[in-house]
């Protein structure tokens, strides 16, 4: 039913009164970052006690994990992560607690190695499917790499755009990919996209696919998505050195005290291990062993992740219910219903997102900055908002969603009526 001008002005006035009331009674809620809740962290508390007998400190029954050594990780951890990332044992390097750290290592190692031999130091560029992960973009910017935004469809990056660019520009050296339950839109790459990334012609012969599979086991439903293996696809296409796969247990066990892994061709792993040897004598092998004993294998990880999902799913359901309640039949906003990962993504009307996020901040609801999920923090359409509901209780999320829906409707109508 369409509203008359008078009705819609009255409705806007009503929203303004509600918002003004919220200004007087601000909340104190933060759904900015994708971090696990306390209940999720408790799931992994038993891991802290799995190493008890002296033999628990031996890798393969002989190597004392309390001592230096095993730069690329203990073999038990390699077995676990090679099962997860579907690689051979010598195609895995186990890192410290952070996969971002490994991404930084891979990029800098590759760029510095090449720069040493390069006479013509042209500017390096990376393709950045957007919206994407803000820390990828921050890292890229910090390293002085130029970012080229690329459209992100429901099955992965816009491959027509990608293929055209990489075929012609030798300074495009890489692409960021979050292939499973992408941060923030929740998309999972199709097999066709994986194959095209693996086989496309690139002008740069050292082109890198940075395959950040941060959410590979983070399903929310029984429809568990599995992305095609990029390393296998790259090998099949004759480009075995093109892909670099990353994952970590930050959101499986403990962020900050998990274990990260890199999967790549043996040649690439050997290259990175050499670079790494100048930085450390080895990572925390005791933590690697704790993880192996606690997580056991892929099947057991899946059971553990089901417990995470049982905590998280009601939060994602609540967001969907609230948005349906407020916006069914209205054109203020579109939203994702992810099958995994940590985020819900809102697409607002153009030029509204920054103002909505600002209005929310004033009433005590912190969400990720509107442009943060785009290179240089700039979304030309200003229509993207990321919600990270995992750390808050259902009760707080309920209150946050009422505030979010109010601000979306109020700001959108205010803008429309001022036109
Ligand atoms: N990649 C993506 C896509 C993420 O969303 C996150 C966490 N927010 C990370 C990497 C961080 O991973 P780690 O803790 O292993 O550095």
301-353 pLDDT, tens digit each:
999 999 999 999 999 999 999 999 999 999 999 999 999 999 999 999 999 99
Class level of CATH domain 49-295: alpha beta
Determine the distance separating the centroid of ligand 1 and the alpha carbon of 244, expressed in angstroms: 15
Position 74 scores a pLDDT of 98
The confidence band for 5, taking pLDDT boundaries of 50, 70 and 90, is: confident
The confidence band for 3, taking pLDDT boundaries of 50, 70 and 90, is: confident
Position 291 scores a pLDDT of 98
Which of these, 210, 105, 126, 117, lies nearest to 171 by C-alpha position? 126
Beta sheet of 92-94, edge-to-edge order:
92-94, 260-263, 243-248, 208-212, 172-177, 125-130, 146-153, 156-157
Position 113 scores a pLDDT of 79
Instruction: List the Cα angle 28/326/414 in 5-degree steps.
Output: 80
Return the residue whose CA atom lies nearest to atom 11 of ligand 1.
Answer: 100
Position 4 scores a pLDDT of 79
Question: Is pLDDT above 90 for 68?
Answer: yes
Question: Is pLDDT above 70 for 119?
Answer: no
CA separation, residue 76 to residues 47, 145, 245, 268, 317 (Å):
16, 36, 19, 21, 38
Beta sheet of 384-387, edge-to-edge order:
333-335, 344-348, 384-387
Position 7 scores a pLDDT of 79
Residues of the chain with pLDDT > 90, as a percent, come to 93
Give the residue-averaged pLDDT of 102-107. 98
- ipTM confidence score: 0.99
Best residue among 214, 260, 387 to mutate for probing ligand 1, ranked by most atoms within 8 Å of CB: 214
Position 284 scores a pLDDT of 98
Mean pLDDT of all residues belonging to the chain: 96
Q: What is the pLDDT of residues 351-409, one digit of tens each?
A: 999 999 999 999 999 999 999 999 999 999 999 999 999 999 999 999 999 999 999 99
CA–CA separation, 121 and 276 (whole Å) = 24
The answer to whether residues 246 and 212 touch, using CB atoms and an 8 Å cutoff, is: yes
* 5-31+302-418: CATH topology: 3.90.1150
Question: Is pLDDT above 70 for 76?
Answer: yes
The confidence band for 102, taking pLDDT boundaries of 50, 70 and 90, is: very high
Determine the distance separating the centroid of ligand 1 and the alpha carbon of 98, expressed in angstroms: 8
The answer to whether residues 94 and 86 touch, using CB atoms and an 8 Å cutoff, is: no
Best residue among 85, 100, 244, 341 to mutate for probing ligand 1, ranked by most atoms within 8 Å of CB: 100
Domains 5-31+302-418 and 49-295 share a fold: no
Rg value, the chain, Cα: 23
Residue with tokens 């009255």: 10
Position 94 scores a pLDDT of 98
The confidence band for 121, taking pLDDT boundaries of 50, 70 and 90, is: low
Return the residue whose CA atom lies nearest to atom 7 of ligand 1.
Answer: 34
CA–CA separation, 370 and 350 (whole Å) = 12
Give the residue-averaged pLDDT of 171-190. 97
Question: Is pLDDT above 60 for 105?
Answer: yes
Determine the distance separating the centroid of ligand 1 and the alpha carbon of 100, expressed in angstroms: 6
The answer to whether residues 238 and 203 touch, using CB atoms and an 8 Å cutoff, is: no
Count other C-beta atoms under 10 Å from residue 51's C-beta.
18
Domain residue extents for the chain: 5-31+302-418, 49-295
Q: CB within 6 Å of ligand 1 — which residues?
A: 34, 98-100, 133, 178, 183, 212, 214, 248, 250, 255, 260
Instruction: List the Cα angle 135/41/77 in 5-degree steps.
Output: 75
Q: What is the pLDDT of residues 285-296, one digit of tens each?
A: 999 999 999 999
Question: Is pLDDT above 70 for 115?
Answer: no
CA–CA separation, 151 and 127 (whole Å) = 10
SS3 track for the chain: CCCCHHHHHHHHHHHHHHHHHHHHCCCCEEECCCCCCHHHHHCCHHHHHCCCCHHHHEECCCEECCCCCCCCCCHHHHHHHHHHHCCCHHHEEECCCCHHHHHHHHHHHHHHHHHHHCCCCCCCEEEEEECCCHHHHHHHHHCCCEEEEEEEECCEECHHHHHHHHHHCCCEEEEEECCCCCCCCCCCCCHHHHHHHHHCCCCCCCCEEEEECCCCCCECCCCCCCCCCHHHHHHHCCCCCCEEEEEECCCCCCCCCCCEEEECCHHHHHHHHHHHCCCCCCCCHHHHHHHHHHHCCHHHHHHHHHHHHHHHHHHHHHHHHHHHHHHCCCCCEEECCCCECCCEEEEECCCCHHHHHHHHHHCCEEECCCCCCCHHHCCCCCCEEEECCCCCCHHHHHHHHHHHHHHHHHHHHHHHHHC
Which of these, 214, 207, 203, lies nearest to 136 by C-alpha position? 214
Atom index in ligand 1 nearest the CA of residue 102 equals 16
């Amino acid at each position: 039913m369409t509203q008359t001008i008078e009705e819609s002005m009255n409705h806007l006035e009503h929203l303004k009164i509600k918002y003004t009331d919220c200004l007087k009674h601000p909340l104190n809620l933060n759904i900015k970052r994708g971090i696990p809740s306390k209940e999720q962290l408790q799931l992994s508390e038993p891991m802290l006690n799995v190493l008890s007998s002296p033999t628990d400190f031996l890798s393969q029954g002989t190597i004392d994990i309390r001592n230096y050594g095993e730069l690329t990780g203990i073999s038990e951890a390699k077995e676990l992560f090679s099962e997860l990332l579907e690689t051979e044992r010598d195609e895995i390097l186990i890192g410290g607690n952070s996969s971002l750290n490994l991404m930084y290592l891979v990029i800098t190692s590759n760029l510095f190695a090449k720069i040493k031999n390069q006479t013509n130091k042209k500017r390096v560029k990376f393709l950045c499917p957007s919206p994407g992960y803000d820390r990828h973009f921050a890292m890229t910017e910090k390293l002085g790499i130029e970012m080229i935004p690329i459209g992100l469809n429901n099955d992965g990056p816009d491959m027509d755009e990608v293929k055209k660019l990489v075929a012609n520009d030798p300074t495009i050296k890489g692409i960021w990919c979050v292939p499973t339950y992408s941060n923030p839109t929740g998309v999972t790459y199709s097999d066709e996209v994986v194959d095209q990334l693996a086989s496309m012609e690139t002008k740069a012969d050292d082109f890198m696919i940075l395959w950040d599979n941060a959410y590979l086991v983070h399903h929310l439903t029984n429809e568990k998505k599995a992305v095609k293996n990029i390393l296998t696809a790259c090998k099949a296409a004759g480009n075995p050195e093109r892909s670099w796969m990353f994952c970590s247990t930050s959101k499986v066990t403990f962020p900050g005290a998990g274990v990260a892994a890199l999967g790549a061709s043996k040649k690439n792993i050997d290259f990175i291990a050499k670079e790494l040897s100048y930085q450390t004598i080895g990572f925390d092998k005791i933590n690697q062993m704790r993880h192996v004993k606690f997580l056991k294998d892929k099947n057991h990880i899946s059971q553990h992740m089901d417990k995470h999902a049982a905590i998280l799913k009601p939060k994602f359901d609540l967001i969907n219910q609230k948005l349906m309640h407020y916006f069914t039949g209205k054109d203020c906003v579109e939203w994702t219903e992810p099958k995994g990962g940590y985020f819900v993504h809102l697409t607002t009307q153009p030029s509204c997102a920054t103002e909505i996020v600002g209005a929310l901040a004033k009433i005590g609801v912190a969400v990720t900055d509107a442009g943060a999920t785009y290179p240089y923090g700039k979304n030309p359409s200003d229509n993207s908002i990321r919600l990270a509901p995992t750390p808050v209780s259902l009760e707080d999320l309920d209150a946050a969603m009422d505030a979010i829906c109010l601000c979306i409707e109020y700001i959108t109508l205010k803008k429309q009526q001022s036109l």
